Amino acid sequence: MVDGPRGGRRKALAWTLFMVGLAGAGALVVVFGAGDVLDAVRRVGWGIAAVCAWRAVPLLASTLAWRALIPARHRIRFSGLLAQRWIAESANNLLPVAQMGGDVIRARLAHRRGVPSEHAVASVVGDVTAGLLTQVIFAFVGLALLASSGNGSGRTLLGLGAGVLLLVAMLAGFAWFQRSKLFGKLTERARRWMGKGDSAPEERAALETAIARLYADRRAFMAACAFRLAAWILGAFEVWLVLRFMGVDAGPGEALVLESLGQVARTAGFLVPGALGVQEGGLVLLGSLTGMFPETSLALSLVKRAREIVTGAPGLAAWQIEEARLRRLSARAPATEPDARSPRPTRA
């Protein structure tokens, strides 16, 4: 999607951050005992299959959130949206790109499947906003649970609270960003990558109108927020499941604290591909506050990484298969009909 010197610099930065994150994660494993960490991972055993299978549940909820933001007349089959959401998550987790590259991919795929470009982009923007908004709520719940448990000093809780406020600032910044000139430039680049070419003033106005209508439809946006909040909570069950397989006696409250505040660290490190190293450090800190040994926290992070690889590698393969299929359709389409490659939307 990015070419030229700037694209090269972005890729170099992404790879640099990836290597730094990898080194940081490796250092944590060495410091706290690689043998103990790997032993805790081995205790999960075939439970990793259950963890991977469970991932489909929050993914379904996230897809329902995205679907709610696409106007009914432009919706494609739910199975198609689910596959695109899966591909986006796989790209964000496994590719050396900032953790929003997958969202550009799903906007492109949704458009190529038949969703008008302005609604494809607007729905993804709205979904990201709903995700940040509900993550703030989820993080405050986790912080409140941690404070009520009596774990952690006042200084530690204050630091975690500052982290949650950083998330609030990111939400406010993203809301401002959607009204900035830079957002227009980035959507222009996204349109070219989606095969639409440079947009005319009326097309840019159509995107602005689509985003404005999306937020004006409070019922749809609140439905998206409800599904996104459900997805965050369902993600906490994954943590509980992993700890159970390890033999750690942790309750739902501890799992929710680890997932909610751990995701704050992951979001704050969004520039680092896969938040590599950031997630591990965050879980070690949070685990210490809930009475968990550092090696157990690191093992939890490694199992989550393993789940990302097991579920994400097929997602990346599915992306390449889908791109190849769309290229074949594009090659067959008449040159005078630039949108003929996009099939008509099919309602779910």
pLDDT of residue 119: 94
Q: Distance between terminal CA atoms of the chain?
A: 30
Higher-pLDDT residue of 14 and 194 is 14
pLDDT in tens, 103-150: 989 999 999 899 998 999 999 999 999 999 999 999 999 999 988 876
Is pLDDT of 182 > 80? no
Buried b / exposed e along 92-108 (16+ C-beta atoms within 10 A): bbbbbbbbebbbbbbbb
For residue 166, CA distances in Å to 90, 159, 169, 173 come to 26, 11, 5, 10
pLDDT of residue 59: 98
Where exactly are the structural domains of the chain? 21-47+62-332
Residue-averaged pLDDT of the chain? 86
Q: Which two tokens stand for residue 179?
A: 């009204």
For residue 328, CA distances in Å to 170, 190, 314, 332 come to 40, 21, 21, 6
pLDDT of residue 333: 65
Q: Give me the percent of the chain exceeding a pLDDT of 90.
A: 52
pLDDT of residue 3: 52
Is pLDDT of 154 > 70? no
pLDDT of residue 314: 96
pLDDT of residue 193: 59
Most confident by average pLDDT, 12-16, 174-178, 208-212, 311-315: 311-315
Say what the pTM is: 0.86
Per-residue confidence band for 340, with pLDDT thresholds at 50, 70 and 90: very low
Q: Which two tokens stand for residue 227?
A: 């599904």
Higher-pLDDT residue of 185 and 208 is 208
Per-residue confidence band for 245, with pLDDT thresholds at 50, 70 and 90: very high
Half-sphere exposure (Cβ direction) of 282: Cα atoms closer than 13 Å:
24
pLDDT of residue 275: 85
* 49/73 Cα distance (integer angstroms): 38
Q: Which two tokens stand for residue 192?
A: 């070219």
Q: Reduced to 3 states, what is the DSSP secondary structure of residue 216?
A: helix
Give the chain's count of helices (H) and strands (E): 14, 0
Q: Which two tokens stand for residue 34?
A: 């690689």
What is the DSSP code (8-state) at residue 70? S
* 65/271 Cα distance (integer angstroms): 24
pLDDT, mean of residues 221-235: 97
